[in-house]
Amino acid sequence: MSYPFQIKTKEQYDRAYKKSVEDPEGFWGEVAGSFYWRKRWDKVLDWNFKDPDIKWFRGGKMNITENCLDRHLGTMGNKPAIIWESNDPEEHHRILTYRDLHHKVVQFANVLKNNGVKKGDRVCIYMGMVPELAVSVLACARIGAVHSVIFGGFSAQSIADRLQDAQAEFIITCDGAYRGNKEIPLKSVIDDALVQCRFVKKVIVVTLTRMPVSMIKGRDVWWEDEIKKVETMGNPDCPAEEMDAEDPLFILYTSGSTGKPKGVVHTCAGYMVYTTYSFVNVFQYTPGDIHFCTADIGWITGHSYIAYGPLCAGATTVLFEGVPTWPDAGRFWDIVDKYKVNVLYTAPTAIRSLMSYGLGPVQSHDLSSLKVLGSVGEPINEEAWHWLNENIGKGNCPVVDTWWQTETGGIMISNLAGVTPSKPSFATLPLPGIQPILVDETGKEIEGNNVSGNLCIKFPWPSIIRTTYGDHERCRTNYFAAYPNLYFTGDGCMRDENGFYRITGRVDDVLNVSGHRIGTAEVENAINMHAGVIESAVVGYPHDIKGQGIYAYVIYGSTHGDENLTRQDIAQTVARIIGAIAKPDKIQFVTGLPKTRSGKIMRRILRKIAEGETENLGDTSTLLDPGVVEEIKNGKI
């Protein structure tokens, strides 16, 4: 495959960027021309950010799986599409060629149909990182069902909320999942969720750990049995459903500043075009490259840069079931060595965690195959950037710091590996088609360089969020209402003297814990559900490994009992309600919270105290009761 849209020099980048701004429709029309369409589009772009109403490639007909799979079969059928590395390094890994993957997707697409799944139906996927996960995602896309993958660490309650929101009647899961030395009972978590979700019609269960599971007659079926049924049916094909460019492809839930996670909706064509475009350009993909993105498919990074982007580009993508530190902290380097990985795309939190083990686990592996290193999910601190550059890349591999979001579908601001300049801790320059703008609190543009502000984007790109599932107004108020005619990212940002962008972190009430987005309100709601808790306030604080840790101030009713046990109980309640990823790192019991006279919690003050900056709390004159602050300061843990 060749990629006519691949940018190879800084001059080409400058030219592409200029064209993308001056003639966006011409620019994206050309890029889209190298994909396979059943029918070409009538109009490249229709949009307004007011409603918002955004349509890319209007009238175009296609199916993303024909682009990920079918069109590669002629020339690349025998090329590995997916290399699966199991949790246990001793177990045999599996390689699926494009032909194998196509076969499995088609087969499972028929299973879905046999079980009553139709175009437009929502299918929830709750699995570990096994090949069947990729197959499930693609099989949904094949028949036009809308997948909603839920990360395997979320609780039954979180799943139930998402199932209800999406009205998903179908679930694909595994009996259990392996993660490091743990076995996670996925089906059992699903069973707990389904107590509240009687509308679910079918649960398809992959056999993996073979831990005991309950199987309800008429509702629960085994993946393997269903595959056998379609194998005996004769016709093994499953032609791809013809999709409209703007038909939904998937829903992915993410946290915002309000309590309830939002179902971000991405549509077929624009998402396909932009993830492939950004994949090829940011990582400078060359045919034959082995791409290893260490994310989980349960997050957007896995959707875009393990599954869709690499597969559309015809790359070989590594799917890793396990964790970076098991059986030892050399696991990533072992995988790089074993498969001669060329591109390693990971998160700062993983890098910081591996740094703490020293260079021993790195030195025992041959990393000479690496060409490009990537970072995503949170700001990368300079120390981690340099460690990655020097010890993993040996100074020879460009490091791409890629800024983007679930809502943006693909990488927005990043250097292009080896093509545009890099700068530690800077995402640097926008990709062609992306028009960032910094604004102040009132929405006024902050022009020039050496400035900071709130990061917005002023023009649509093909994989921009289209809506939040079932509640378009929520999408409008969350992203398009803060500043008229701008998409607001929720991130703070500075632009240096060269016009390079550095993302400084969220400016809303969203935390970024180990690269996972968690809303403070969500955590507070969960804490408040614990018996005895009267009120709570949650803020982030700097954490060496996680980037941000969760600091909870809790007003607790009864004073009897062991405080430490109560802390653990509260953490357990949060794990039950949201999932272990949202457990507070620190809980401080207080008798009151700093509030303004109108009753608003002054989080700014709580944040400062959590950060240990108790000296300079800023303006406290609007506080209802300044005494509360003194008490909290003195009681800081």
- Interface residue with ligand WTA among 65, 67, 254, 478 (CB under 6 A) is 254
Quick check: 294 binds ligand WTA (CB under 6 A)? no
What is the amino acid identity at position 402?
A: T
Q: Is the CB of 104 or the CB of 506 nearer to ligand WTA?
A: 506
- The correct pick among 20, 148, 155, 301 for binding ligand WTA (CB under 6 A) is 301
Nearer CB in complex with ligand WTA: 110/317: 317
In the complex with ligand WTA, the residue whose CB is nearer, 499 or 626, is 499
Phi and psi based region of residue 275 (left: phi greater than 0; alpha: psi -120 to 50; beta: remaining): alpha
Q: Per rule CB under 6 A, is residue 406 in the interface with ligand WTA? A: yes
Strand pairing class (451-457; 487-495): antiparallel
Contacting ligand WTA within 121-150 (CB under 6 A)? none
One DSSP character per residue, 567-630 reads HHHHHHHHHHHTBGGG--SEEEEES---BBTTS-B-HHHHHHHHHT--S-----TTBS-HHHHH
Interacting residue with ligand WTA among 291, 303, 506, 530 (CB under 6 A): 506
Stretch that binds ligand WTA, among 29-37, 48-56, 360-368, 403-411 (CB under 6 A): 403-411
Please give the Cα distance from 287 to 33 (Å, whole number).
Answer: 20
Evaluate whether 515 touches 349 at the Cβ level (below 8 Å). Answer: yes
Tell me: does residue 478 bind ligand WTA (CB under 6 A): no
240 secondary structure, DSSP code: P
Can you tell me which of 191, 491, 509, 522 binds ligand WTA, judged by CB under 6 A? 491
Q: Which of 187, 192, 157 is nearest to 529 (CA)?
A: 157
Q: Do strands 80-85 and 94-97 pair parallel, antiparallel, or not at all (unpaired)?
A: antiparallel
Residue 506 or 530 with smaller CB distance to ligand WTA = 506
Residue closer to ligand WTA, measured from CB, 486 or 503? 503
* 267, 276, 402, 463: residue in contact with ligand WTA (rule CB under 6 A): 402
Does 187 contact ligand WTA by CB under 6 A?
Answer: no
CA dist 456 and 453 (Å) reads 9
Q: Which of 147, 331, 495, 517 binds ligand WTA (CB under 6 A)?
A: 517
The residue range among 190-198, 354-362, 388-396, 400-408 that interacts with ligand WTA, by the rule CB under 6 A, is 400-408
Indicate the residue whose CB is closest to ligand WTA: 406
The only residue of 300, 355, 456, 486 in contact with ligand WTA, by rule CB under 6 A: 300
- Determine the interface stretch with ligand WTA among 51-59, 204-212, 217-225, 399-407 (rule: CB under 6 A): 399-407
Structure tokens at 60: 């175009």
Q: Which residues pair with 438 in a beta bridge?
A: 455
Q: In the numeric block, which tokens belong to residue 135? A: 């197959």
H-type alpha helices, 421-508: 472-475
- The dihedrals phi and psi of 379, each to the nearest 5 degrees, come to -60, 135
Nearer to ligand WTA, 136 or 275 (CB): 275
Site for ligand WTA in 367-396 (CB under 6 A): 375-379
Nearest to ligand WTA of 204, 439 (CB atom): 439
466 vs 517 by CB, closer to ligand WTA: 517
* By CB under 6 A, residue 154 contacts ligand WTA: no
258 binding ligand WTA? (CB under 6 A) = no
361 binds ligand WTA (CB under 6 A): no
The single-letter code of the amino acid at 71 is: R
- The helix (run of H) or strand (run of E) holding residue 282 is helix 268-282
Q: Which lies closer to ligand WTA via its Cβ, residue 316 or residue 489?
A: 489
Tell me the C-alpha distance between 588 and 610, whole Å: 10
Helix, strand, coil content of the chain in percent (nearest 5)? 35, 25, 40
Half-sphere exposure of 177 (CA within 13 A, CB side): 25
Interface contacts to ligand WTA, rule CB under 6 A: 254, 299-301, 375-379, 401-406, 427, 489-491, 503, 505-506, 512, 517
